[in-house]
Homo-oligomer: A and B are copies of this chain.
Amino acid sequence: MTNSRTSLSKSQLKSLESIFPGDSMTVAPAEMLIYGTDAGRRFSLPWAVVRPESVEQVQELMRLADRERIPIIPRARGTNVVSACVPDQGGVVLSCLKMNRIISIDPDDFTALVQPGVVTADLRQKAMDMGLFYPPDPASMSVSTIGGNISTNAGGMHAVKYGVTGDYVLGLEVVLPGGETVTTGGRVHKNVVGLDLTGLLVGSEGTLGIIVKAWLKLLPGPEYSATILACFENEQKALRAVQNIFRSGILPCALEFLPAEVMDCLAGYGPVPWPGTAGSALIIQIDGTRPSVTHELRTVRSAVKGCLHLDQTGQDEEDRIWAIRRLINPASFSLGPDKISDDVVVPRGKILDAVQGIRGISRKHGLKILAFGHVGDGNIHVNYMYDDSDPNRKQKVEAARQETLRLVLDLGGSMSGEHGIGLSKKPFISWQLGSAELELMRGIKKVFDPHGILNPGKGW
């Protein structure tokens, strides 16, 4: 991939226009502004934006782009926080938003067949209306799309019990550079024929092919759920309770951990239900049949015994507790107008080490850092709150970020559990992946995309 090109030639533009007539394409800078950025907030104007409605259009685009070496950057709603949708090497942005049909939901096969631009929450709702359950629930699900969820292997609050997006992808239809379409897997729940190309495409951040269809697995929906908020004197006690819960044989469907900084930040933002002595909290959700939830709630209550404050709600009032969790994001901006967020993972037993380590880094640099999250699977969201207009702060945040990534890797963890690499963690990729692993990934990339036209420069 040469980076010396700066735009499309006239004949390339003409070819593009013949594939994408009318308003299915734009090159107007004002219209393209939004396609130059994503939730990661970097910016680079694309050369053109196209909005295919059909697989055939994607195929023609990929034939043209491969032949002419035009970078293609697939995206939908741009909720990506690691700048994986930013066309920083130029190229054509492919918006999947017009491929947004739920093609079918099959209550006998327990599958859904969808186009990539379907909003995740819409699929969840439609499945629920039919008594079916699509479990993955990334925080962005009311706006983010299935295609993006697959490309990042998005997780969510309920991953501890239900797994991540990839666990629900049974098959994909994907257009490769050059225009060839491959179908991996399909409507079956089990399949060991050939290499797992489906799994390889999941989480590949748009670097291997353009997803145009996905077969998803559905489950029977759980009958009931309930939530407990338990507040503790300190983090040690909260995390001991987490181990108690798991050791009692319970797998909560969500298990969120709030350390001291988050408790303080929330208390400073508005009224909170816990006493001032509380230094940590857990939000624990249980689902299943009604009797099982009742029974497990008792077990959870005994696992959190000795906590300072306990609030328990059934399904109809759960949102009262979850609203507290959702407040973290708006409340955190009281600590600084700008945020950089990472989503590190550590082995489940190393959460306290990670939280304390991050606290040390925060103190060292005099920064506001909130580290909280999905304690059930060791996935910690780290939000660095600062003022982007202060170059000194900005530099300190970058230093703290790097120290945190090092810390997490030293604990046997991973730099990302949900967000991916994109541009934002790319400089540090060799801290986690060895040269042999990277060489394999780059070799695989070449098999799918020999001329490197797909989302160039992203990921590994």
Cβ–Cβ contact B437 & A183, under 8 A: yes
What per-residue 1/0 map shows which CB atoms of A413-452 lie under 8 Å from chain B?
1111111110001000100111011101101111110000
| A24 at the binding interface (Cβ < 8 Å) | no
Cβ–Cβ contact B108 & A349, under 8 A: yes
Cβ–Cβ contact B413 & A347, under 8 A: no
In angstroms, Cα B303 to Cα A220, docked, is 14
Task: Name the segment of A41-49, A242-250, A272-280 touching the other chain.
Answer: A242-250
User: CB within 8 A of A414: which of B191, B247, B345, B348?
Assistant: B191
What per-residue 1/0 map shows which CB atoms of A123-136 lie under 8 Å from chain B?
00000000100000
Task: Name the segment of A14-22, A192-200, A328-336, A392-400 touching the other chain.
Answer: A192-200
In angstroms, Cα B434 to Cα A186, docked, is 13
A260 to B: closest C-beta gap in Å: 22
Number of copies: 2
| A204 at the binding interface (Cβ < 8 Å) | yes
| A152 at the binding interface (Cβ < 8 Å) | yes
Cβ–Cβ contact B447 & A180, under 8 A: no
- Could you say which of A184, A191, A447, A448 has the most chain B C-beta atoms within 10 Å of its C-beta? A191
User: CB within 8 A of A195: which of B192, B200, B221?
Assistant: B200
Q: Which residues of B contact A163 (CB under 8 A)?
A: 167
Closest to A190 in B: B417
Closest to A433 in B: B194
Cβ–Cβ contact A220 & B192, under 8 A: no
User: CB within 8 A of A412: which of B188, B349, B425, B460?
Assistant: B188
A49 to B: closest C-beta gap in Å: 27
When A197-B437, A437-B197 are in contact, do A190 and B203 touch as well, CB less than 8 Å? no
Cβ–Cβ contact B437 & A447, under 8 A: no
Closest to A224 in B: B249
User: CB within 8 A of A345: which of B184, B190, B378?
Assistant: B190
Cβ–Cβ contact A182 & B434, under 8 A: yes
In angstroms, Cα B189 to Cα A109, docked, is 29
| A305 at the binding interface (Cβ < 8 Å) | no
Closest to A243 in B: B108
When A192-B417, A194-B421 are in contact, do A200 and B203 touch as well, CB less than 8 Å? no
- Could you say which of A106, A189, A192, A199 has the most chain B C-beta atoms within 10 Å of its C-beta? A192
Cβ–Cβ contact B417 & A191, under 8 A: yes
Q: Which residues of B contact A290 (CB under 8 A)?
A: 295
When A203-B195, A417-B192 are in contact, do A250 and B220 touch as well, CB less than 8 Å? yes
Which residues in chain A, 350-368, are within 8 Å of chain B measured between CB atoms?
A: 350
| A181 at the binding interface (Cβ < 8 Å) | yes
A294 to B: closest C-beta gap in Å: 7
Closest to A170 in B: B347
When A378-B188, A412-B187, A434-B182 are in contact, do A444 and B444 touch as well, CB less than 8 Å? yes
| A155 at the binding interface (Cβ < 8 Å) | yes
3 pairs of A and B residues whose beta carbons are closest in the complex: A292-B292, A108-B349, A443-B447
**CB<8 Å pairs between A and B, sample of 28:** A106-B347, A108-B348, A131-B247, A160-B189, A164-B190, A183-B434, A188-B347, A190-B377, A192-B203, A193-B429, A194-B438, A194-B460, A195-B200, A195-B441, A195-B444, A195-B460, A196-B199, A196-B200, A200-B444, A219-B251, A220-B246, A220-B247, A220-B248, A290-B295, A291-B291, A291-B294, A440-B448, A447-B447
